[in-house]
Chain A
Amino acid sequence: MNEVTGNEIIHQYLRHNKKFPHVLCAGCGHGIVLGSLIRSVHSLDIPKDDVVIVAGIGCSGRLAVYVDFNTIHTTHGRALTFATGIKMSNPKLKVICIMGDGDALSIGGNHLIHAARRNIGVTALILNNNIYGMTGGQSSPATPSGSTSMTAPFGQLEESFDTVSLGQGAGANYVARGTVFHVQKLERLMCEAITKPGFNMLEVLTPCHTQYGRKNKFKGPVDMYKWLKKTAVPVERYQEMKEEQRGDRIPIGVFTDKGNPGLEERYFGLKKELLAKQQAAEGK
């Protein structure tokens, strides 16, 4: 796929009656995630009418409005609750949640673990930029310990969440992590996260230079992408590495892939059984 056709694909999926420019800063990784999402949906050949984008609040929440799918911009942290209602109401729809790290892990932490436990057939994209970007750079649960933010001017004391372990612990069906630097890998992971049954969680590391990088000794957005390139290692290689080699390297790739049927599948299976029983009873 060359660059020109890539853009052409993206233009097919953008809303032409939406007032641009978008809200994202130059150098933001969110646009790359949205581009990957569009290319994934395109390559999977899913009709636009069947795709529902449910977004939370924050910079990531604004992504929904630009794309020509069924889009819902919900409340802070609650995207998964809306998604649960939609998926249970109409299991034919491909429901994709776009959430930020503050969105999914802080205010929406409860919804995230329960959506994972419930195994509702929804794709959860967690765009982790380590900070609350839209509100001006306050610490999020993904802000690394020791880094600086508007609400941790003397350094973050708290530890950050490991999104992948959280998802695994909560019982998610599919857990993966990618970065906006490794775009082709990201697209592969996204395609899997969209097509696999049950609750699929994909964390995407996406840099926020405006709010995080500036305060944490990154000279520019390019530095942050270089940092991603340097830090991320495929999970297969990470597992072979010795403890001292690992340091602050971040594994990317697929961590869990159970392939269990989603809640909606089991629910409508149960309904079928119950209705058959009723019919049999009436027949007698």
Chain B
Amino acid sequence: MARRKKKQEIFALGNEAVVEGALIAGCTFYGGYPITPSSEIMEIMASRLPAHEDGVFVQMEDEIASMGAVIGASLAGRKAMTATSGPGFSLMQEHLGYACMAEAPCVLVNVMRGGPSTGLPTSPAQGDVLQARWGTHGDHPIIVLSAADVQECLEMTIKAFNMAEKYRTPVILLIDEITAHTREKIELPNPGDYEIHSRVVPSMPPEWYKPYEETVRGVPPMPPIGSGYRFHVTGLTHDRNGYPTSRPDEVDELMQRMHRKIDQFFYDIQLTEETTCDDADVVVVAYGSVARSAEFAVQQARESGVKAGLLKLQTLFPYPRRAMEKLLAHARTLVVPEMNMGQISREVKRVNMGRASVRTINRVDGQIITPSEILKVIMQG
């Protein structure tokens, strides 16, 4: 047996882990605007990327511009990202929609803080969950991931880039202030530990290339600008050539394909982690830092003889319906703790369709939901 190389361990912030993950995934462009509590991501990128073989860092004038620059870099062939928090995330919605429409792969990390508006700049919340799904206007598919601890910040950032590249879509990674500012030991993966995906580039001659062609995967190949494939990119509804159209059949084809490319790969996109779920009567459905509290609570409940389990959502949207369906065969109660007034619990209730009883725990005072709060509800059954 080949000896496995010992992994390098570092003591890192959640925000630092995001940067490590991004660089492992092949990110070479960062465009951003400072905002608490995400600024460390930008600061570390500012020192790492200029000294990187091929990295580019630009500080833009605002979040609208940051996302614009990220899309520009993506079209020019780079793996690009930005990071922000609530108020900046609101500003980025405009270009998030453009990235969906132009099918420009990119990663947006939103370190959630209390809102609405300027809100609680240095306290955690999970209030941007539905904004991440529905924030930009118009019907659009999107992938929203979350991370519960520092190690996961690294892993999910890599996965975010992989999904963005595989499906030509913006991917949002939601982490909260607690995870972003927790400093703990993590393992850096060795080269080859993670599969790294890059967008498929066209192999046909330029004159045959259609930038928005219907394909089996629903994801057309994407060449970098300046590589000889000259095409048009627009935020307008477009035909297969990328030219604006309002013909109902062409509009429908585009919209259907855009949704299909995300829907049909649910098995790859919808990530969850189960802890003692197999026989659970009470299942806690949680994500982000709250999932860590929930894990501890579930463990304590098991010790006192209650069959409790945890379904940790790593993908928030498209909502991991199948993982939950499976648990509903035996779960009597679902507990949904969230640092908001109830956002993912709407999805839980939608899939549950009245089968199990759904108990929500909501906290909006800028404080973490503690294990004992969750345990209390689990014990009530």
Q: Footprint of B on A, CB under 8 Å?
A: 15, 17-19, 48-50, 52, 54, 64-65, 68-75, 78, 80-86, 88-90, 92-93, 110-111, 114, 267, 270-271, 274-275, 278
Contacts and interface: CB of A to CB of B under 8 A. Distances in A.
A267 B233 contact: no
A279 to B, nearest CB: 11
Given A75-B235, A110-B61, A93 B225 contact: yes
Given A73-B236, A270-B50, A278-B51, A78 B230 contact: no
Contacts of A78: 64-65, 68, 94-95
B202 interface: no
A159 to B, nearest CB: 24
Contacts of B231: 70-71
Contacts of A65: 232, 234, 243-244
Nearest to B94: A75
Contacts of B94: 75, 78
Given A85-B72, A85-B73, A89-B73, 19 more contacts: A52-B226, A54-B72, A65-B243, A70-B226, A71-B231, A73-B232, A73-B235, A73-B244, A80-B68, A82-B71, A84-B31, A84-B69, A93-B76, A93-B226, A110-B61, A110-B62, A114-B61, A271-B50, A274-B51
Interface string B52-66: 010110101110111
A64 B68 contact: no
Given A50-B226, A69-B230, A84 B235 contact: no
A70 B230 contact: yes
A50 B224 CA distance: 12
Contact of A85 (B55, B61, B68, B224): B68
B75 interface: yes
Q: How large is the interface on B (under 10, 10 to 19, 20 to 34, 35 or more residues)?
A: 35 or more
A171 B340 CA distance: 45
B233 A71 contact: yes
B29 interface: yes
A81 B225 contact: no
Nearest to B53: A275
29 contacts: A54-B72, A65-B232, A65-B234, A71-B233, A72-B233, A73-B232, A73-B233, A75-B94, A78-B94, A80-B68, A81-B64, A81-B68, A82-B68, A82-B69, A84-B58, A85-B29, A85-B31, A85-B70, A85-B76, A86-B72, A89-B29, A89-B73, A90-B77, A90-B225, A92-B226, A93-B225, A111-B64, A271-B51, A275-B53
A114 B65 contact: yes
Q: Which 9 A-B pairs have the closest CB atoms?
A: A85-B72, A81-B68, A85-B69, A89-B76, A73-B234, A82-B72, A114-B61, A81-B65, A85-B73
A73 B238 CA distance: 11
Nearest to B70: A85
B95 A84 contact: no
Contacts of B76: 85-86, 89-90, 93
B27 to A, nearest CB: 12
B98 interface: yes
Given A85-B29, A85-B72, A49 B65 contact: no
A80 B60 CA distance: 11
A220 B55 CA distance: 53
A62 to B, nearest CB: 8
B159 interface: no
Contacts of A75: 68, 94-95, 98, 235
Given A74-B98, A78-B95, A84-B68, A90 B224 contact: yes
B117 interface: no
B241 interface: yes
B250 to A, nearest CB: 11
A233 B58 CA distance: 39
A56 to B, nearest CB: 11
A24 to B, nearest CB: 14
Contacts of B77: 89-90
A270 B55 CA distance: 12
Interface string B19-52: 0000000000101000000000000000000110
B248 interface: no
A89 B58 CA distance: 10
A278 B47 CA distance: 13
Given A18-B243, A86-B75, A89-B73, A49 B235 contact: no
A75 B98 CA distance: 8
A86 B98 contact: no
B224 A71 contact: no
Contacts of B98: 74-75
Choose among B60, B72, B76, B231 the residue with the greatest number of A CB atoms under 10 Å from its CB: B72
B8 interface: no
Contact of A70 (B95, B225, B236): B225
A81 B69 contact: yes
B80 interface: yes
Contacts of B199: none
A98 B234 CA distance: 14
B225 A52 contact: yes
Contact of A74 (B68, B70, B227, B244): B68
Contact of B225 (A19, A86, A274): A86
Contacts of A48: 230
A84 B29 CA distance: 12
Interface string B67-92: 11111111111101000000000000
Nearest to A88: B56
A82 B233 CA distance: 12
